[in-house]
Amino acid sequence: MRFGDGVELSINASGNFKQPFYLNKESTWSQCTYTDGLLAVPIAPNPYPLDSKFGVGGDGTDTWNTTGDLQSNPIMAGPVFDSSGFSGGSGVIKVKGNITVGTAQLELINSFNIDAGDNFIEVTTTAKNIGAAAITNLRYWIGTRDDYVGGTDSPTIVRGNLVSGAFQPLTLMTEVSSALRITTPDEGILFFTLASNANNSHAGFDFNFNPSENLDPESALISNTIDGSYSMYVRMNDLAVNESDSFTWYYAAAALDDLDDVIGDVADASCPTCIPDTDNDGILDPFDSCPYAAGVASLSGCPWPLYIGNNYKTTTVSNSIEIANEWYLCSLSNADYYNIAYHSGASAEPVVGDSIIYNNNYTFSHSLLFDTEGFAFMKLRDYNKIVEVQKSDGKIIAIYSCP
């Protein structure tokens, strides 16, 4: 890979790498972002580096927000470069400088690591509060205002995650996307992070700013073929004075028939100790609230939550109750009678065929009670229904509506 024209310094005044390229199979450098003026001679070419934006303060109730003070591509004051770990086109280069966002003062460090022969670069971004007051609602965006892959100005952008070393597209727009795959018929790019509060978005392009920074990732299409922009959003930790926070992200590019192998290389590099994804939902176990029960990424890896009754009755014969006689279970409404359980399925309200995967008040993942024979009947508080569960595996076999 190469950043910039191959002669100039590869890092700009904001501490970002300049226009990225990869060496294609014809041994020529293929650009990965647009060059303003490329098709408009004699306008002077203006190659686009990656764009960044910081946000501080404001209402941080929602993980993604654009409140408070925002600063696009802040210029580093007093930048210092450390290339002692870089030699022969590979290794680590660090740049450190101070930036101002509103009244907040931050020390920003970007550490760029690229190994010889790799088709990806690993970047660790660190922000330290060097001001006089605590920083809240700290956010960071990184991406491009106008993509252009090789010779194609309208590539296909897909939101997804890396699962077992491969790219897996989202199934719901509201799921969290840790990865973006941008492809043409000939080549492709991967944008990826393991940061726990990260999400990716894409939108149309603009010559002056990155439109995708203004789009809540949960509102971004899963896939689109467009002359567009894209960005990685990370909600960083609040910082007391002299505190810092870091996250690592990856940028890769390759010929299309090599891209899957490069994605595998990125997955290996980002998970050197092979952190498992036990439930295969695209969220690694350390970042997954429910690592042992396959669920939906938008719920931090958990299945759907619901309030399920602690009061129950059991039977050895299924479909054996008459709802008109279940006045006691149906009458329960006090919150003390319920606990939060989780169920599988495609929607928040369970249906026959879903399974109660985990119940907080009981020991075993697949047993609502301490025995596994027969069937249990419990009320679902939020739906005013009674659910019949097969105790051997938690499968819902019937649902009854309360009067």
Among 266, 248, 269, 268, smallest CA distance to 258 is for 266
Q: Tell me the average pLDDT across 50-64.
A: 96
- For residue 357, the model assigns a pLDDT of 77
- For residue 373, the model assigns a pLDDT of 82
Mean pLDDT for the chain overall: 88
How far is it, in rounded angstroms, from Cα 44 to Cα 299?
48
Q: Is pLDDT above 50 for 40?
A: no
pTM for the model: 0.69
pLDDT digits (tens, 9 = 90+) for 106-160: 999 999 999 988 999 999 999 999 999 999 999 999 999 999 998 899 999 999 9
Q: Is pLDDT above 70 for 368?
A: no
% the chain with pLDDT above 90: 61
Residue 272 binned pLDDT confidence (cut-offs 50, 70, 90): low
Which one is predicted more confidently, 275 or 345? Answer: 345
- For residue 369, the model assigns a pLDDT of 56
Q: Is pLDDT above 90 for 362?
A: no
Q: Which of 99-103, 191-195, 301-305 has the highest mean pLDDT?
A: 99-103
Q: Is pLDDT above 80 for 275?
A: no
Q: Is pLDDT above 60 for 163?
A: yes
How far is it, in rounded angstroms, from Cα 156 to Cα 168?
15
How far is it, in rounded angstroms, from Cα 269 to Cα 267?
6
Domains identified in the chain and CATH numbers: 2-271 (2.70.98), 303-401 (no CATH)
How far is it, in rounded angstroms, from Cα 162 to Cα 168?
6
Of all helices (H) and strands (E), which one includes residue 375?
strand 375-380
